[in-house]
């Protein structure tokens, strides 16, 4: 809650004076913020911003995110044999670290491995954009979410100072996410951990720190150890569509879904459990799933039910493959 409040206050500071302001005025306001609130040297902030370039490709990318695709076009991007093979190899290589992360946080190894696979194919695709360019472009030239990205730009300046990064050299996604787990600057500052004990929180080059940090992120977002994530559902009648919404908030209990014609066959859920009904489009039909609290936790990493479902289903493939390989090894 304190973290949310701090970001809320920072957002108010950045946005309250920026309505209808030009990009140049916004930059001046940003410089004032960094000087007055965070005690940066004015010339350093100004010279850093001057090194950034507005990138039209970034604006085009954020206007057409993968999450805008229907489910049947989205999931084949991530649920591939190549990604599964790479993920199982990564799990095997980092088995001890993953086991320690799971023991300390309650977050299963397969979820951590799935996140890293979906985000960057295990460090293979870390992003091609200058993080500084991305945050300046979106913070000063993308009105729909400019306030958020200016807040992230402030966090990026703070992160670079704290971690001794060269702020002009870091590469990442079009949205300014960095490293194997694609942490945005605020998440890096507040959830990254030094998991191998070398004194550095390195999410750019150190898989051990990434494993620990992804696990810590989910722990801080209320992951429930040894709890289910989602179940495929059957629907009937005319009441269940009223339960569908674009909001990710869980505003219904399982008993309410049952009363509206939703059922599952794989588990007996508590009547009072907070759940949400999700709809996923297939070419000629629709799938329905009941998301449990851990599914909501995945949407805290990326605010998309498509993303959360891809991570969940990929994690199940990984778990099945890893267990099969372990059983085969024991058999020999």
Please name the residue that has the structure tokens 């370039």: 53
Alpha-carbon dihedral angle through residues 294, 300, 302, 306, given to the nearest 10 degrees: 40
C-alpha pair distances (Å), 53 with each of 59, 91, 298, 329: 12, 39, 33, 53
Residues 178 and 253 placed together within one structural domain of the fold: no
Residues 20 and 150 placed together within one structural domain of the fold: yes
Q: Give tens-digit pLDDT for 283-323.
A: 999 999 999 999 999 999 999 999 999 999 999 999 999 99
- Where residue 259 falls among pLDDT bands split at 50, 70, 90? very high
Determine contact, residues 161/24, Cβ cutoff 8 Å: no
- Where residue 67 falls among pLDDT bands split at 50, 70, 90? confident
Burial of 86-99, coded b for 16+ CB within 10 Å and e otherwise, reads bbbebbeebeebbe
Residues 210 and 245 placed together within one structural domain of the fold: no
Final residue before a domain boundary, out of 175, 191, 220: 220
Q: Is the pLDDT of residue 152 over 60?
A: yes
Residues 165 and 285 placed together within one structural domain of the fold: no
Copy the structure tokens of residue 16. 């309250």
- Taking all residues of the chain, what is their mean pLDDT, rounded to a whole number? 93
CATH value at residue 43: 1.10.8.350
Residues 196 and 48 placed together within one structural domain of the fold: yes
Annotated active-site positions, please?
119
Q: Element (H or E) spanning 289, and its range?
A: strand 286-291
What is the reported pLDDT for 123?
97
Residues 49 and 138 placed together within one structural domain of the fold: yes
* C-alpha R_g of the chain: 21
Instruction: Report the predicted TM-score, pTM, of the whole model to 2 decimal places.
Output: 0.91
In whole angstroms, give the CA distance from residue 110 to residue 218.
Answer: 13
Copy the structure tokens of residue 302. 């990326």
What is the reported pLDDT for 332?
59
In whole angstroms, give the CA distance from residue 309 to residue 242.
Answer: 21
Alpha-carbon dihedral angle through residues 327, 207, 212, 167, given to the nearest 10 degrees: -160
- Where residue 331 falls among pLDDT bands split at 50, 70, 90? low
Residues 158 and 140 placed together within one structural domain of the fold: yes
Q: Give tens-digit pLDDT for 109-135.
A: 999 999 999 999 999 999 999 999 999
Residue 159: is it exposed, middle or buried by C-beta count within 10 angstroms (0-12/13-18/19+)?
buried
Residues 174 and 261 placed together within one structural domain of the fold: no
Q: Give tens-digit pLDDT for 3-32.
A: 433 444 455 454 444 456 899 999 999 999
Number of structural domains in the chain? 2
Q: Is the pLDDT of residue 188 over 50?
A: yes
250-262 average pLDDT score:
97
**Backbone φ/ψ region at 106: left (φ over 0), alpha (ψ -120 to 50), beta:** left
Q: What range does the domain containing 234 cover?
A: 230-291
Q: Dump strand ranges (E) for 20-160.
A: 129-130
145 in a structural domain:
yes
310 in a structural domain:
no
Residues 185 and 264 placed together within one structural domain of the fold: no
In whole angstroms, give the CA distance from residue 130 to residue 92.
Answer: 32
Copy the structure tokens of residue 317. 């493939």
């Amino acid at each position: 809650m304190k973290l949310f409040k701090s970001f809320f206050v920072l957002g108010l500071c950045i946005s309250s004076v920026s309505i209808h302001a030009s990009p140049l005025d916004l930059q001046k306001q940003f410089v004032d913020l960094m000087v007055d609130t965070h005690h940066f040297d004015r010339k350093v902030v100004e010279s850093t911003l001057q090194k950034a370039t507005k990138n039209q490709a970034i604006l085009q990318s954020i206007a057409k995110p993968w999450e805008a695709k229907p489910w049947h076009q989205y999931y084949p991007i991530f649920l591939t044999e190549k990604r599964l093979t790479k993920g199982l190899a990564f799990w095997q290589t980092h088995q001890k670290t993953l086991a320690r992360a799971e023991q300390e946080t309650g977050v299963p190894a397969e979820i951590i491995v799935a996140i890293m696979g979906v985000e960057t194919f295990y460090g293979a695709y870390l992003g091609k954009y200058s993080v500084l360019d991305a945050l300046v472009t979106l913070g000063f030239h993308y009105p729909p979410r400019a306030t958020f990205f200016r807040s992230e730009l402030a966090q990026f300046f703070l992160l670079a100072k704290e971690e001794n990064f060269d702020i002009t050299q870091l590469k990442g996604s079009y949205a300014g996410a960095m490293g194997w787990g694609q942490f945005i600057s605020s998440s890096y500052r507040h959830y990254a951990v030094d998991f191998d004990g070398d004194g550095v929180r390195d999410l750019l080059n150190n898989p051990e720190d990434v494993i620990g940090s992804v696990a810590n992120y989910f722990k801080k977002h209320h992951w429930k150890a040894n709890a289910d994530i989602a179940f495929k559902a059957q629907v009937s009648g005319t009441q269940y569509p009223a339960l569908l919404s674009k909001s990710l908030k869980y505003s219904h209990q399982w008993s309410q879904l049952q009363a509206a014609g939703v059922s599952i066959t794989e588990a007996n859920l508590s009547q009072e459990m907070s759940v949400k009904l999700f709809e996923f489009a297939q070419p000629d039909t629709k799938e329905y799933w009941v998301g449990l609290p851990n599914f909501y936790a995945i949407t805290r990493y990326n605010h998309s039910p498509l993303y959360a479902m891809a991570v969940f289903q990929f994690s199940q493939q990984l778990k099945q493959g890893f267990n099969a390989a372990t059983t085969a090894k024991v058999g020999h």
